[in-house]
A and B are shown apart, each in its own frame.
Chain A
Amino acid sequence: MLDNFNFLLDGFAAAFVFSNLIYGFIGTFLGTLVGVLPGIGPALAIGLLLPITLTVQPTQALIMFAAIYYGAMYGGSTTSILLNTPGESGSVITAVEGNKMARAGRAAAALATAAIGSFVAGTIATLLLAMAAPELAEIALTVQPAGFLALIITAFATVGTLLGSSRIRGILSLAVGLTVGLVGADLQSGSLRLTFGNRAAIDGIETVTVIVALFALGEIFYLASRFNHGPWQVIPIGGRAIMSKSDLKRSWKPWLRGTAIGFPLGVVPAGGSEVPTFLSYAVERKLARGKNREEFGHGAIEGVAGPEAANNANAAGALVPLLALGLPTSATAAVVLVAFQSYSIQPGPLLFMTNPELVWALIASLFIGNTLLLILNLPFIRFWVKLLYIPRPYLYAGIATFALLGAYALNNSIFDLQVALGVGMIGYLFRRFAVPITPMVIGVILGPLAELYYKRALQISQGDHGVLLDGPLTKSLYLFLILLIFLPPIYRRFIGRNRGKTKADS
């Protein structure tokens, strides 16, 4: 534990150089800039900004990247509060109460509690990450391929079945992702799968292309298909982005509770940020007393503070399995993984041994990025809000331009653009038929990895499938899976009841 602390200090020493801090500022600025744009959630914001980090040094890239990450997260909540268009599932709850607060003339307080709550949650969660990830990585070193396969299948099941309106649609999304992941040469035998004679497809489908196309082009197609010509309504902020004493008094406990709910649910892949933010909301609602309770559904500050903190802590929690096991469990974590790979860093248990200075520089960068964000955003909130006034035609045209650029520039490949167009159409169809998107992203990334571990496990056992169930880890994971399949009807009923309540109140 003391070692980790020393490593962290070294990480700070590496990160705290003036030129690095400049990159941090640029990252925060760009991350917020892109994250504020309506319809762009953190995963897409990071995906779109990835080309920019590719030309700088690894440490600087990591700092810039961490800053982009937090900036994009925060930018998303601004849009939810002022425009009621959450860019990703984690901000849905923020939009519920935050937008109501804004309509009641309390936009400034809502934005402030979101910003400070994100900061508090981000700092605590990063600290927990710094303590948990190395320990988990150490344990993970002993895990056999069969164990990893079981972990991945668990991630598939949680992400696939807990998101979206129905389990079957989540599974469908996952299956489509796995199919996309099949394209290209099989790593071991070199057999070409689903390439249909196209040489450009041999290397497989680029993950960033899939993410950018699914989120950006899919959204644009979908909005176009339901286009109405009216302008949207941005709610002006009255006063400065500060909170009154009573706001602060009502916020600090929800921040801490939100962190406590969000972080563990990020570590144990529980299917993205929808569940923790919702749980935090339900808890705050239950704990609220008297007049505050009546405010729920009409703009209660606890309903912004708690879920915002839960969302941020959840995102940091998701970095634990990502760094320690190399397993992304949310769309955002998936983009982070791709970013690491583009800096030639392979997250996983070995990373802490082979490249400790990089990991700790990253963790230190997360602290710094989070702090920079608070410094940069509270005073400049008015500037960010101006972005919401960009006319929609230009906004979408700009997003499309950057999405196409991002899809092409990674490999300078027209094939990637064609893929983007196709995947964009899939993104449209998914939105149209209420199929969640994250499971597909997870499928594209983890599918090939699942196959790799499957083959490794069988090679070790000389083809004996019994190995897949060997050991306490695999057994308990599969047991958990069985529970997961049979318990949700009860769980869903609970969530469904609460959701019904929220609907009735709003």
Chain B
Amino acid sequence: MNKVSQAGKGELVFAGALFLVSLVVFWDTSGLVLPTNNTVISPRTFPYAVATLLMLASLGIAWEVFRGRAAIPEGAGADSTFQRADFKTMLIILIGIGLHTFLLERTGYIIAATISFWSVAYAFGAKRIVRVGLIAFVFSALVFFSFTNLLDIQLPEWFIERAISKVGS
């Protein structure tokens, strides 16, 4: 059995997490309230089968890692050295999208989308943060008005959206 590499350890955590998910599915399924009327087929059978498959697959991945066959990330060659993930860049985007989700129905579409657009552009190396902010705002406003006016798709609005459409009309 080979020594598990650093990349392999990450994959073990991944497999372990999915193993836990399979346990959660087992636990959730066992707690299902069964219907009182006499149905032929239990609503538990299928989830149990899925949980078993997930459990076996995650164990299979762990087995692969222990045998020294850790995954080669997409786009990387077999011989390329292990590359530590750039968590800072990822985190900026995660926070941006998280804020988008949190703010969307509180402060309207334009603010939420401006924040997520800005965070992704900034994370990918856009340097002039004020200019990026302006572009993000204009882009979000354009998306908002073209979707709500041309396509009849409703998006949450706040005072900014109302103010712009008042000025526009």
Decide whether A and B are members of one complex. Answer: yes
Which A residues fall within an 8 A CB radius of B? Answer: 51-52, 54-55, 165-166, 168-169, 171-172, 174-176, 178-179, 182, 186, 188-194, 196, 217, 220-227, 229, 391-394, 396-398, 400-402, 404-405, 408-409, 412, 414, 417-418, 421, 424, 428-429, 431-435, 447, 450-451, 454-455, 458-459, 462-463
Nearest-CB residue, chain B, relative to A225: B85
Q: A396-B120, A454-B46 are in contact. Are A412 and B154 (CB under 8 A)?
A: yes
B11-32: CB near A (< 8 Å → 1, else 0) gives 1001000100110110011001
What are the residues of chain B within 8 A of A454 when measuring CB–CB?
41, 45-46
Report A-chain residues with C-beta under 8 Å of the C-beta of B24: 194
Complex A-B, nearest 5 residue pairs according to Cβ-Cβ distance, in ascending order? A393-B126, A434-B71, A172-B57, A175-B54, A225-B85
Known contacts A51-B153, A169-B61: does B120 contact A400 (CB below 8 Å)? yes
B50, A182: Cβ atoms closer than 8 Å: yes
CB pair B53–A175 under 8 Å, yes or no, is yes
Query: Which partner residue on chain B sits nearest A418 by CB separation?
Result: B101
B57 touches A171 (CB 8 A): yes
Apart from A421-B101, A433-B61, A463-B40, 11 more pairs, CB < 8 Å? A55-B152, A179-B54, A188-B41, A226-B73, A226-B85, A393-B121, A393-B132, A408-B155, A409-B147, A424-B97, A432-B10
Shortest C-beta distance, A192 to chain B (Å), equals 8
Q: Report if B135 contacts A (CB, 8 A).
A: yes
Question: In the complex where A172-B58, A417-B101 touch, is A404 in contact with B93 (Cβ < 8 A)?
Answer: no
A431 to B94, CA, bound (A): 17
Assess the A220–B64 pair: CB atoms within 8 A.
Answer: no
A397 touches B153 (CB 8 A): no
B113 at the interface (CB under 8 A from A): yes
A172 touching B125, Cβ below 8 Å? no
- The answer to whether B117 touches A178, judged by C-beta atoms less than 8 angstroms apart, is no
Contact B18 A414 (CB under 8 A): no
Contacts of B41 in A (CB 8 A): 188, 454-455, 458-459, 463
Chain A binding surface SS class = helix
Contact present for A178 and B40 (CB under 8 Å): no
Q: Do residues B50 and A414 form an inter-chain contact, with CB atoms below 8 A?
A: no
Partner of A229, one of B51, B125, B151: B125
Offer 22 A-B interface pairs, CB within 8 angstroms, sorted by A: A51-B147, A166-B69, A168-B57, A172-B60, A188-B43, A191-B33, A193-B29, A221-B93, A224-B124, A229-B125, A393-B123, A393-B124, A396-B120, A412-B154, A414-B101, A418-B101, A428-B90, A432-B71, A433-B61, A434-B71, A451-B46, A458-B41
Q: Which residues of B contact A166 (CB under 8 A)?
A: 64, 69
A225 engages B90 (CB within 8 Å): yes
Cβ of A188: which chain B residues have Cβ within 8 Å of it?
39, 41, 43
The residue of chain A having its C-beta at the shortest distance from the C-beta of B117 within the complex is A397
Q: Distance (Å) between the CB of A321 and the closest chain B CB?
A: 22
Judge whether B71 and A404 touch: CB under 8 Å: no
Find chain A residues with CB under 8 A from B75 CB. Answer: 226
Inside 8 A of A226's CB, which chain B residues have their CB?
Answer: 73, 75, 83, 85-86
- CB of B72 within 8 Å of the partner chain: yes
CB distance from B150 to the nearest CB of A (A): 9
CA distance A223 to B101 in the complex (A): 21
